[in-house]
Amino acid sequence: MTEAGDGIERSLSELQVVPYGIPRRSIAGYYPECNVLVPLWHYAEGSKVPAAKSIPVRLFKDVPPEIIEGGETSISAT
């Protein structure tokens, strides 16, 4: 979830957190998958390029899907 402070909820789910050699308290994500987290008004002043390298986010642990008979998963939209 983006912590942009503008009252708009921007979130992305169903990702896996993997430890990697980056600075502590930092996260990394791929483009374009994480574009939904970038506020449209958050851009570089000179070039007007979206400032995707500096987006404050909060991570939450998702509840894993329930495995049902036959190896299928039950998916609910919430």
Specify the pTM: 0.58
DSSP string, 7-36: S------S------SS-TT-----TTGGGG
Cα 1 to its chain centre, rounded Å, is 6
Closest CA to 55 of 35, 32, 76: 35
DSSP structure class, residue 64:
P
Domain count of the fold of the chain: 1
Whether residue 78 is predicted with pLDDT greater than 60 in this model: the reply is: no
pLDDT of residue 23: 92
Q: How far apart are CA 67 and CA 49, in angstroms?
A: 42
Summarised one tens digit per residue, pLDDT across range 1-48 is 677 778 888 888 878 888 889 998 888 888 788 888 888 887 788 888
Confirm if 67 and 42 have CB atoms less than 8 A apart: no
